[in-house]
Amino acid sequence: MNISEETYIEERLNDQINWYDLKSIKAQKYYKSLKRIEIILSSSIPLLVGFITEAKIWISIVGFIGVVITAIEGWLHISKYHENWIEYRSICETLRHEKYMYLTRTGVYDSENPFSVLVERVESIISKENVNWANLNSSQNGGN
pLDDT of residue 66: 96
Domain count, the chain: 1
Enter the pTM of the model.
0.82
Q: Would you say residue 2 lies in a domain?
A: no
Sign of CA dihedral 89, 95, 99, 100: positive
Nearest-angstrom CA–CA distance, 76 and 83:
10
Q: Would you say residue 91 lies in a domain?
A: yes
Q: Would you say residue 74 lies in a domain?
A: yes
Please give the residue range of the domain that contains residue 128: 13-140
Percent of the chain with pLDDT over 70: 90
Question: What separation in angstroms does the CA of 98 have from each of 20, 43, 60, 141?
Answer: 14, 44, 55, 34
To the nearest whole number, what is the mean pLDDT of the chain?
91
Q: Would you say residue 8 lies in a domain?
A: no
- In this prediction, residue 34 has a pLDDT band, given cuts at 50, 70 and 90, of very high
Nearest-angstrom CA–CA distance, 129 and 57:
50
Question: What separation in angstroms does the CA of 97 have from each of 91, 104, 109, 127?
Answer: 10, 11, 12, 17
